[in-house]
Structure 1
Amino acid sequence: MASKLITVFGATGNQGGSVARSLVKNKTFRVRGVTRNLESESSNALSVLGVEMVQADGFNLDQMKAAFQDTWGIFLNINSDDKIFTNQDGPSEFDMGKIIVDAAAEAGVQHVVFSSGPSCTEMTNGKVSMKAMDMKYKIEQYIKDLGIFKSVIPLGAAWFLENFLSKEVAPVFGGFPYFPDSSNRLVFRCPYWGGKEDVPWVSISDDFGDIVHGAFLDPESWNGHFIHVLSDIRSFPEAVADFQEVTCREAIWDPILPSWEDFETHGIHELEDVKLMFGFTQITGGLYFGTPTKRETAYKLKKATAIALGYPEEKQGLVTLKDWFAARFGNKG
């Protein structure tokens, strides 16, 4: 039986790259990656793994139709932080999303897995408007309203654990996990999450791609399901305690009070959405995915992929926060 072609838009990004690297291990699929720069290091690395890399611009309908030729399914994630979307008079994320989706429809794509989000403005009654989340929700509705794909599977990506690997970002959150304070403590500083403080976390390298891969194994059974893509659920104090346990370094969580609005963005554009995210989750009672955070679906999809790829039993589950910290920051002494 001929292998099914899955095309990944944004293959050189965090989400798309993880998906492509997982899918290319499965001989049931052929994997094509779409990028604007075929000469980038990320593009070359995927090519080495066996991903067919093609060049296309998301604003060019003809290029996208060519990129989707013979494609059975697509994974679509649009980078909301792309500088092209920061111009008030320029094109929007929805404009790009519509062109890509129209191209997929015209090319005969059957299955769409789309990195989306709930309607921030609607859920907060206008108190918080997170442009990226609202745009993704609008694109999701457009995909569904077309009514021509065999399956449309929206998903939400949890807080990337890989953010902790960036020393540049650490000072924004109090220095954790790199820079101790004057008392030699590692301080993680951010607002409360909201609700039951069920903060969702995902390891892009360990789990994200495998969870999405699992959806492609039986896409019609997941049609219309909003998938919570996460590895673990831990409150901020629990996350810091996990880190402290495996590293034997003193660490504390220092909540920013009294309001999420006191989170300092230092004029960094990307941090504006982080600040609004805290507002969204506090106002909605922690409903980051639009519904109460659950781990069961992600676990089921990860296991399905692990079995399909022949992973040993100990590698078939989702990574825990404690294990993730241990692997990257664990006490070597």
Structure 2
Amino acid sequence: MTPKTITVFGATGNQGGSVLRSLLQNSNFAARGITRNPQSNASMALAARGVEMIQADGFNSEEMITAFHGSWGAFVNINSDDKIFANTKGPTEFDMGKTIVDAAAHAGVQHFVFSSGPPCTEMTGGLVQMKAMDMKYKIEKYARDLRAFKSVNPIGAGWFLENFLGKEAAPVFGGFPHFPDEEGFLTFRVPYWGGEENVPWLSISDDFGDIVQGIFLDPMRWDGHFVHGVSHICSFDRVVADFQDVSGQKSRFVPILPSWEAFDTHGIHELEDVKLMFGFTQITDGKYFADPTECHTASELKKTTAMALGWSESRYELVTAREWFSVRFEK
């Protein structure tokens, strides 16, 4: 049987890279990645693993049609922090998304998986406007309304556990899990999440790609279903306690009060949406997606992929925060 080609836009990013690494394990799929710079280290590393890397710009319709040519499926994640979107008079994320969707449809892509977001402004009655989330939802809606694909499968990525590996932004969050405070604690300082404090944690490296592959293994079943890209659901308190247990390092969660508005981004542009995210989740009583957060769908998709790849039952399950920390910070 000829492998079905799945093309990934955003191939060198965290999400796209995870999807490609998962797809490479399945001989029924041929993995293709789209990049603006095929000579970048990330692009060449993917090519070395067997990914067909195609050069194309998300704003160039002809290039995108060529990149999608012959593809059975597509996974698309647009980097909302791309500097090109910072210019208020320049092209928007929706402009790029529309070009990508139209190109995929023109090229005959049958199954379109899109990394989307909730309609933030709508859900908060205009109180919080997360431009990135609203743009992604607008692109998702455009793809669905176009009715050019056999299936449109939106997925939302939770809070990356991998963010804890970076030291640069750690001081903004109190230093956790790298820099002790003046009292010797690794302190995690963020506003409360809201509602029942059901924070959606995600291991990009362990789970995300397998969840997406699970969609591609039966895309018609998941058509129109917004998948919660979540590995584990637990509070900030619990995640810090799990870290302390496995690392042996004195740690604590200290909420920023009285509300999300007290979160200081220290002028870091990329953290402005993080601040708004806390506003969004507090106002919606803890919702990060349009529906209450759940991980049973992601669990089923992970298991579907594991079974298709012939993995042992020990690899069927999603990774918990405690398991994730134990691999990377164990004492």
For normalisation by structure 1, the TM-score amounts to: 0.99
Looking at structure 2, the residues matched to 310 and 48 of structure 1 have their Cα atoms a distance apart, in angstroms, of: 24
Q: Could you say what secondary structure the match of 2:6 adopts?
A: strand
Matched, 1:131 2:131: yes
Report the CA distance between 1:325 and its aligned residue: 0.5
Looking at structure 1, the residues matched to 44 and 148 of structure 2 have their Cα atoms a distance apart, in angstroms, of: 34
2:173 paired residue number: 173
2:110 paired residue number: 110
Matched, 1:183 2:187: no
Q: Which amino acid aligns with 2:138?
A: K
Q: Could you say what secondary structure the match of 1:221 adopts?
A: coil
Report the CA distance between 1:182 and its aligned residue: 1.7
Report the CA distance between 1:313 and its aligned residue: 1.2
Looking at structure 1, the residues matched to 50 and 313 of structure 2 have their Cα atoms a distance apart, in angstroms, of: 26
- What percent identity do the matched residue pairs reach? 67
How is 1:126-275 mapped onto 2 (pairs within 5 angstroms)?
126-275=126-275
Looking at structure 2, the residues matched to 24 and 178 of structure 1 have their Cα atoms a distance apart, in angstroms, of: 33
Looking at structure 1, the residues matched to 148 and 136 of structure 2 have their Cα atoms a distance apart, in angstroms, of: 19
Q: Which amino acid aligns with 1:19?
A: V
Q: Which amino acid aligns with 2:120?
A: C
2:293 paired residue number: 293
Report the CA distance between 1:308 and its aligned residue: 1.0
1:325 paired residue number: 325
Matched, 1:47 2:47: yes
Q: Deviations over 1:56-108 (max 9, x none)?
A: 00000000000000000000000000000000000000000000000011101
Matched, 1:303 2:303: yes
Matched, 1:3 2:3: yes
Q: Deviations over 1:246-284 (max 9, x none)?
A: 111111000000010110011111000000000000000
Looking at structure 1, the residues matched to 239 and 261 of structure 2 have their Cα atoms a distance apart, in angstroms, of: 23
2:12 paired residue number: 12
Q: Which amino acid aligns with 1:300?
A: E
Looking at structure 2, the residues matched to 148 and 65 of structure 1 have their Cα atoms a distance apart, in angstroms, of: 14
Calculate the aligned-residue CA RMSD, in Å.
0.6
Report the CA distance between 1:145 and its aligned residue: 0.4
Q: Could you say what secondary structure the match of 2:74 adopts?
A: strand
Looking at structure 2, the residues matched to 38 and 147 of structure 1 have their Cα atoms a distance apart, in angstroms, of: 32
Q: Deviations over 1:118-152 (max 9, x none)?
A: 10000000000000000000001000000121000
How is 1:61-100 mapped onto 2 (pairs within 5 angstroms)?
61-100=61-100
Q: Which amino acid aligns with 1:218?
A: D
Report the CA distance between 1:317 and its aligned residue: 0.6
- Number of residue pairs the alignment of both structures matches: 331
Report the CA distance between 1:326 and its aligned residue: 0.6
1:26 paired residue number: 26
